[in-house]
A and B are shown apart, each in its own frame.
Chain A
Amino acid sequence: NAGVMQNPRHLVRRRGQEARLRCSPMKGHSHVYWYRQLPEEGLKFMVYLQKENIIDESGMPKERFSAEFPKEGPSILRIQQVVRGDSAAYFCASSARTGHGELFFGEGSRLTVL
């Protein structure tokens, strides 16, 4: 499968634990975007990364949330000390380096905080 791969698909955490969501972009794509979809809401931009660089993190909460896209390996969205309000579907998307190009989305990771 050459598409955007996200794992885990489902993650359950208790309040105060850490959640790590992983995203492997499509082959040849070096741009990664993370979006969050809360229940009954649309897709909210969180962060845009290129290899080893955070380009735009204007949608990321200032505390507890971080993202990285290392030179090797998948992009990671990390949520520390999760709270119930973090329960959502987190979608990763990737795009090619040049041109407008559309975003290609993964299947999403659904985080449930108990």
Chain B
Amino acid sequence: DQQVKQNSPSLSVQEGRISILNCDYTNSMFDYFLWYKKYPAEGPTFLISISSIKDKNEDGRFTVFLNKSAKHLSLHIVPSQPGDSAVYFCAATRGYGNQFYFGTGTSLTVIP
């Protein structure tokens, strides 16, 4: 049962443009969401997170938006850079001390 879904396996964007990565979840009890970035042969690295009490969190070029009614979150990267090319995973968890559920990832390619 995939509680966190990333329906776009891949995305290509021109350098300098905006990248929008999407994520949907099914469990309304999730209250904390995260985005991770992963390069080949490396472990995922934390990018940005958002609590369910917010609908937006911004960190430099990265902004995460949360729409609780739609059970949808998105990651915006602007401007996109070639170094952003990686696989992006969204994750969700509920409360404290519980497992984190990950999506299947979206492979982003930023074209110079």
A interface residues (Cβ-Cβ under 8 A, vs B): 4, 6, 31, 33, 35, 41-45, 48, 55-56, 58-59, 91, 93, 98-100, 102-108
B44 touches A56 (CB 8 A): no
B101 touches A45 (CB 8 A): yes
B interface residues (Cβ-Cβ under 8 A, vs A): 6, 32, 34, 36, 41-46, 49, 51, 89, 91, 93, 96-105
A-B contacts besides A43-B105, A105-B36, A107-B43, 13 pairs, CB < 8 Å: A4-B43, A31-B97, A35-B102, A42-B105, A44-B102, A45-B102, A56-B98, A93-B43, A99-B96, A103-B46, A103-B100, A105-B45, A108-B43
A107 touches B42 (CB 8 A): yes
For the complex of A and B, list the 5 residue pairs with the smallest distance between their C-beta atoms, beginning with the closest: A42-B104, A105-B43, A43-B102, A102-B46, A100-B32
B93 closest partner in A (C-beta): A100
A-B contact list, 21 entries, CB within 8 Å = A6-B43, A33-B99, A33-B100, A35-B102, A42-B6, A43-B105, A45-B101, A48-B98, A48-B99, A59-B99, A100-B49, A100-B51, A100-B93, A102-B34, A102-B49, A103-B34, A103-B100, A105-B44, A107-B41, A107-B42, A108-B41
